Amino acid sequence: MTDKKVLFIDGKEVEIENERNILELCRKAGIDIPTFCYQPELSVFGACRLCLVEIEGRGIQSSCSTPPEAGLKIKTNTEEIRNLRRITMELLLASHPQDCLKCGKSTKCKLQAIARKVGVKDIPYKMSVKDLPVDKSSYSLIRDPAKCILCGNCVRMCSEIQGVGAVNFTNRGSRSTVMTAFGKDMFTTECVNCGQCAAVCPTGALQIHSEIDETMKDINNPEKITVVQMAPAVRVAIAEEFGLPAGIDSTKKIVAALKKIGVDYVYDTNFTADMTIVEEATEFVQRLQNGGTFPMFTSCCPAWIKYAETYYPSILKNISSCRSPQGMFGAVIRKAMPDFTGKDNKDIVSISIMPCTAKKFEARRDQFKHDGKPEIDHVLTTQELAEMLKSSGINLAEIEDHELDMPLGMYTGAGVIFGVTGGVMEAVLRFAAEKVGGIKDAIEFKNVRGFEGIREAEVELNGRTFKFAVVHGLANAGKVAQSVIDGTCKYDLIEVMACPMGCVGGAGQPVSEGCVKKKLRAEGLYKADEKCALRKSQENTAVYDIYDKYFEGGPATHEAHENLHTTYVARPKAQMEMDLNRVNDGAVTVELNLSGENMRNGVEDLMGKVLGKIRENGLQDTVKVGVTFGHTGEDPMVTVAGKAVEADAEKVLAAIKAAKK
Amino acid sequence: MSETTGQELSAFDKIEKVKEILDRNGRQSSRLIPILQEVQEVYRYLPKEIMNYVAQALGIPAGRVYGVATFYAHFALEPKGKYLIRLCDGTACHVRGSEPILAELRKKLGLTAQHPTSDDLMFTIETVSCLGACGLAPVVVINDEVHGQMTPDKALKLIDDVLQAEKA
């Protein structure tokens, strides 16, 4: 190579390849520069001032925001740098609560780890810890802003990768805080519960909302039968928590561990992943035959569902009505476990173990409740499972294997790959190739594999070319959703997973920076798929047995629709309302709804006309006018006395007059 | 009673004015700060519902609007009084005796640093760091009117004048 570009790090020559900055080069050279705010997948922020290096001729620079140039001479470990890093840490710690022993992030906290690394022994500054309330409103996450060090990782993750922006920097100077809009509780915001903010949070400021205590209580209760379902991505990640490499398949060890702590039945969400394929592919074919809505989106990812409900309610009809595999499993347990155990459903506790924080929210959706109670009682993430096992004195690395319980532990390779971006699509193709295209031996569809944010594939089935897209990251999903609204979308079926790289990169998984471990986990799933004797969902005979017994013999039957399908609702980004005038009680109320979708459809013009009509007719003192920004559920543009009225000022006026009588 | 009396804009007018401001600024998120400035002129502060409306109209997260609104001291998140009294406490005004003026004004109107606006939304007292009128120190500005070489008595007289004018 003649044009090889090099620079020098601590006297050693290092070649510049595609590295974006000096920090990446230092890491390539085997020197782990400490940093909080640098995340490879996010924009460079340069806020934490920890990654300082000395560049000859330029002095001290932050390595994350300095692009590499040939010939630079860099020192990473001088006395001055060591001192600066320690002082920076001491300053950060001076405004950080010193309650590590009680903190849920303890031992996994980057602040703690780097404090040790740079040798903090004392905090020679006056402590100034903020007194801010902890927000536990979300099922998925806990936000403790007093522990925030303002690295901005959550802010950038939420807006850059997920396209949401539920948290932002607010205030200024010493009062700076990362907060939701208007300081509202997380639960009432546009947060989609994906948890990626917590995955990149270096401290305990954003944590997973743990359900370990409630779960253990039920496991320890002899009156209760505990039933676990475990999602595919969990098995290739949990071993990392026990010092083993990423990507090894720990299914049998997880079963053994759960049995050891007293769980009665351990099943596999792969079972209902197979069921989802049968159900969803049938839905796809029926949409084709009956002129249904296209494109169709997959529905497995609960963060994607809430995102679509909040931002793109008009495409909810495009989303498969199939429940997610977790949701289907909830229904299957409710139907089948009383038969298997002879116990009543009230004594059966349904626990799921997921790589995902949004699954906690999904389990509490009204649509997933039966007789007012969630079908799934507890949702634990991979991290929580590891913690629960450790607290029970179990080392996953050393335990003997145990087989999954049958029949709900039976699965095919198609179910396994649900845990990685492209996996659901590939599983659909394995089904469709055979059922629609009549091709028996098509198993691997490598054209839908990979890690690009939006991938496309074409497959010819039965003389027709189908276009598929696989999307991960909600900002990418938003682009595709917008193209559907604009009428420019050219796909037939779109798989969406909110988290980068799919469920293997879920926020419930052991924390891992960048994509190295996530790729190993994905490889682990593909290997587990290869090892399966059965690799197509339609070969899972146990699924058809359950259909026969509980769902009228097959997919898309009435019973299947009742139990395995769901509905979606429009959701507001923020629940807020304001009155535009003050009137006496008993006045007719007109409510104008400025939700995102209505804004696109001209609600502001309607508002102007309605206000004009009210003025013209001298109704300001007797008609109360309010503005909202959307409701959960029905989302009409305008209501009069609580009833939806067509978006037309004359009709609104008529409705007001009618209501007054 | 509707709010259509007096020179005050009604809430109907105000929200229509916001729409006009948004349209005039091309609904560009890059125009967020000027939009918020104009909206604040309409409401004398930034109601959170209106910030949410602005966010929806610009297609940006409400949190970003809130972040900008809380960053700049210029933006008020609580309603301010009809008469905004800004007392300069910059170096020149401070050494020429701004503190006793502030104390007297607050005493007269029953206000404190934590409670700067009267309950009837008539008066708000704020201190500012420098108005650039040091030659006139100490300075009190009521809405856009500058009053120089103030003393506690002169300042109290200004309040009385305002109250008189309001009664008339």
The pLDDT of residue B3 is above 60:
no
Residues 571-600 (A) with a CB less than 8 A from some CB of B: 573-574, 576-583, 594-596, 599
Average pLDDT, integer, range A345-368: 96
Q: Does B5 touch chain A (CB under 8 A)?
A: no
End-to-end CA distance of chain B: 21
What residues of chain B lie within 8 A of the CB of A572, using their CB?
A: none
The pLDDT of residue A403 is above 60:
yes
Helix A269-290 vs helix A325-341: angle between axes, to the nearest 10 degrees? 120
Average pLDDT, integer, range A55-76: 94
Integer CA distances (angstroms), A84 to A24, A393, A451, in order: 20, 41, 38
Nearest CA to A631 out of A579, A568, A569 is that of A569
pLDDT of residue A585: 74
Average pLDDT, chain A: 94
Residues 52-81 (B) with a CB less than 8 A from some CB of A: 52-53, 55-57, 60-67, 70-72
A554 neighbors A611 (Cβ within 8 angstroms): no
- The alpha-carbon gap from A168 to the nearest alpha carbon of chain B, in Å, equals 6
A277 neighbors A423 (Cβ within 8 angstroms): no
Partner residue opposite B66 with nearest CB, options A182, A579, A620: A182
- Domain ranges, ordered by start, for chain B: 11-71, 83-167
The pLDDT of residue A465 is above 80:
yes
Residues 185-214 (A) with a CB less than 8 A from some CB of B: 189-190
Q: Dump pLDDT digits (tens) for B42-101.
A: 998 999 999 999 999 999 999 999 999 999 988 999 888 889 999 999 999 999 999 999
End-to-end CA distance of chain A: 88
Please indicate whether, in this complex, the C-beta atoms of B19 and A169 are within 8 angstroms of each other: no
Q: Does B21 touch chain A (CB under 8 A)?
A: no
pLDDT of residue A2: 59
Average pLDDT, integer, range B3-10: 54
**Edge-first strand listing for the sheet containing A493-497:** A296-297, A493-497, A464-472, A454-461
Q: How many CB pairs under 8 A join A and B?
A: 103
Q: Does domain B11-71 have CATH number 2.40.128?
A: no
Distance from CA of residue A42 to its chain's centroid? 17
Decide: pTM greater than 0.90: yes
Strands A6-9 vs A141-143: parallel, antiparallel or unpaired: unpaired
- The alpha-carbon gap from B6 to the nearest alpha carbon of chain A, in Å, equals 15
Average pLDDT, integer, range B115-136: 91
Query: B83-167 sits in which CATH class?
Result: alpha beta
- The alpha-carbon gap from B70 to the nearest alpha carbon of chain A, in Å, equals 5
Residue of A nearest to B12 (CA): A580
Burial class (CB in 10 A: 0-12, 13-18, 19+), A71: exposed
Q: Does B4 touch chain A (CB under 8 A)?
A: yes
Partner residue opposite B52 with nearest CB, options A164, A576, A625: A576
Q: Does B48 touch chain A (CB under 8 A)?
A: yes
d(C-alpha A229, C-alpha A323), whole Å? 15
d(C-alpha B115, C-alpha A10), whole Å? 58
Q: Dump pLDDT digits (tens) for A217-242.
A: 999 999 999 999 999 999 999 999 99
pLDDT of residue B7: 53
Residue of B nearest to A173 (CA): B71
Please indicate whether, in this complex, the C-beta atoms of B3 and A578 are within 8 angstroms of each other: no
- H or E segment to which residue A457 belongs: strand A454-461
d(C-alpha B63, C-alpha B67), whole Å? 6
pLDDT of residue A435: 85
- H or E segment to which residue A143 belongs: strand A141-143
Which are the contacts of A579, defined by CB distance < 8 A and separation ≥ 6? A624, A625, A626, B11
Q: How many CA atoms lie within 13 A of A103 on its CB side?
A: 25
d(C-alpha A155, C-alpha A140), whole Å? 17
Q: Which residues pair with A467 in a beta bridge?
A: A458
Residue of A nearest to B67 (CA): A170
Q: Which residues pair with A461 in a beta bridge?
A: A464
Cis peptide bond N-terminal to A295, omega within 30: yes
Nearest CA to A606 out of A631, A633, A639 is that of A639
Please indicate whether, in this complex, the C-beta atoms of B11 and A169 are within 8 angstroms of each other: no
Q: Which residues pair with B18 in a beta bridge?
A: none
Helix A423-435 vs helix A269-290: angle between axes, to the nearest 10 degrees? 60
The pLDDT of residue B1 is above 60:
no
Q: Does B16 touch chain A (CB under 8 A)?
A: yes
C-alpha torsion A600→A603→A605→A607, nearest 10: -160
List domains and CATH numbers for chain A: 6-77 (3.10.20.740), 90-208 (3.30.70.20), 213-339+346-387+411-506+519-564 (3.40.950.10), 577-660 (3.40.30)
The DSSP output letter for A511 is: P
Please indicate whether, in this complex, the C-beta atoms of A576 and B61 are within 8 angstroms of each other: no
Mutation for B interface: A594, A604, A635, most B CBs within 10 A: A604
Please indicate whether, in this complex, the C-beta atoms of B11 and A580 are within 8 angstroms of each other: yes
ipTM: 0.91
Q: Dump pLDDT digits (tens) for A286-310.
A: 999 899 999 999 999 999 999 999 9
Q: In percent, how much of chain B has pLDDT > 90?
A: 77
Q: Dump pLDDT digits (tens) for A261-270.
A: 999 999 999 9
User: Backbone phi, then psi, for A628, in 5-degree steps?
Assistant: -125, 175
Partner residue opposite B53 with nearest CB, options A166, A181, A594: A594
What residues of chain A lie within 8 A of the CB of B72, using their CB?
A: 172
The DSSP output letter for A605 is: H
- SS3 state at A307: helix
d(C-alpha A352, C-alpha A227), whole Å? 8
Integer CA distances (angstroms), A600 to A351, A555, A603, A637, B19, in order: 41, 37, 8, 11, 14
Please indicate whether, in this complex, the C-beta atoms of B52 and A608 are within 8 angstroms of each other: no
